[in-house]
Amino acid sequence: MSMTIPDTGNTPQKDNAPNSPVKPNKGGLEGIVAATTAISKVDGTAGRLVYRGYDIHDLAQTCSFEEVAHLLWFGHLPNQKELSDLHQKFVAQRSLPEVVLQTIRELPGTTEPMDVLRTAVSAWGAVSISGKPTIDQAIAVTARFPLILAAFNRLRNGKEILESRAELGHAANYLYLLTGEVPKEGHVKGLNSYLVLLADHGMNASTFTARIVASTESDIVSSLVAALGALKGPLHGGAPSKVQDMLHTIGTIENAEPWIRDAITHGGRLMGFGHRVYKTADPRAEELREMAQVADPEDFKLAHHVEKTAIALLDELKPGRRLYTNVEFYSAALMKSVGLTGDLFTPTFAVSRCAGWTAHILEQTNNNRLIRPEAEYTGPSNETFVPLADRS
């Protein structure tokens, strides 16, 4: 996500009704309650994110991704036996049918990994999934997201696809499948925390998309493929690598102030700043800031300086439009530190969010009503029809 400095483009429509209790329509369904959920809550005013009642700061610092996935799917944090059982279920699903592997092999090496993930997940669903969404299906597809990405990444680099290692957790196995080496503890910890932080985030665009498809009583994979399409967009999850590009362009601490000042003055984009919901600091960005500092102190110096400089210059040049870094700003630094290339950033977001998407799909399925909103028609009325032969 990025923020264009002079204007967001979301100008409220004028409300001519006196003392109207209806909020001005900003478009994009802003302020509209589309569903009820017990999965997660985003408090944009307080800068708080909660999964099933648990504060994200507590979960990010102490829990494995598997624990959080269990929380989202089953409604409670697992005990040791439940966690071990879930790990074994993940391990049992760590394989890809030959038809999916062949699909991945036949895609050009220049294909965007996000497109590979969408295509391969669809291929897997075509041969593996039918019927009403279930938790077992949620586990099966979540286990396979990393396998698909790692397989493609190795093939495009001229390497053989690896077999998963049963003793490794979700984050560690993903890194192993990418590199062929048992990952460093610090890398596993950093990626695991990232996966926890991104696992769910209220009724965002991709989650809403998944729930819309699920509400038609379609299958779980169709819902996920739709969600992947929504996540790919740069206004949702497609911007973390662009933060890295921006920092690379800035280059040095000395260049930060003039580059940012020029961007703000001339309506450029500050990548990784601003959020549709949060009116204060994004709690996920706070966690990622600390992790990025530990993971790569040198790169962190430039990123942190850019953050502080941008906030100060925004306060100076655009008073009243204070922006904070969002989850994507420090995600870039953290994922780079664990060895991921820029085009794997958004697909790795999906590796995490698959747990939340499937939890929402199951919640929608279990208490379903077709999502079918109204649209306000603004076109012409009462046009006179003229036959084709008489049209000038």
Indicate which residues carry an active-site annotation.
Answer: 275, 328
Closest by CA to 40, choosing from 62, 16, 73, 87, is: 73
Which amino acid makes up residue 261? R
Dist. CA 69–CA 75, nearest whole Å: 9
| Cα 294-296-302 angle, rounded to 5 deg | 110
Name the helix (H) or strand (E) containing 2.
strand 2-4
Q: What three-state secondary structure class fits 230? A: helix
Q: What are phi and psi of 238, to 5 degrees?
A: -90, 15
- 38-56 core/surface letters (b: 16 or more CB in 10 A; e: else): ebbebeeeebebbbbebeb
Question: Burial of 70 by CB count in 10 Å (0-12 exposed, 13-18 middle, 19+ buried)?
Answer: buried
Q: For residue 259, give the H/E element and its range.
A: helix 253-265
For 303-342, b/e burial (b = at least 16 CB within 10 A) is bbbbbebbbebbeeeeeeeebbbbbbbbbbbbbbbbebeb
